[in-house]
Amino acid sequence: MAVISYKIAMILVALNQNLDKNYQLSCSDNDINTSLKMSQVFLQHAVAVYLQLYKSAGRQLTAHQIKVLNKLPDDSVFTRAEAVERCKVLGKSSRATDTALKKLSSFKYLEHLDQGMYKKINR
């Protein structure tokens, strides 16, 4: 962060000075403070962007989860047993279907209404 602040301060000095043939650059307190504030904002922004990318990295649906989601009814409440029955066509076990339902709920594709009751969220 120090190197970035230094470079920003030097750019501000060059922009604020009247440059002629015999010039001597001097950095004022205002230039230093401005560059430090800018560096802090850049750091906060970088952290915010990193956290957003980190949070969304694990939210990719697998092919299996997409197939399960497509087999579920669109506009009605369904039970776990109905979901397991529909996913048997895909050759998936009840345990695999349960795992997919849990992931789809955590990724906000399904709403877990009650024990064993789900509803697909329209996106």
Beta-bridge partner residues of 17: none
Q: CA–CA separation, 101 vs 85, rounded Å?
A: 13
Q: DSSP for 73-97, please give it.
A: -SSSEEEHHHHHHHHGGGT--HHHH
SS3 8: helix
Phi and psi at residue 28, to the nearest 5°: -90, 165
Residue 9 has what pLDDT?
A: 93
- pLDDT, tens digit, 9 for 90 and up, residues 24-71: 788 889 999 999 999 999 999 999 888 877 766 666 788 888 888 888
- How large is the average pLDDT for residues 17-29? 76
Q: CA–CA separation, 13 vs 30, rounded Å?
A: 10
Single pTM value for the model: 0.52
Residue 33 has what pLDDT?
A: 95
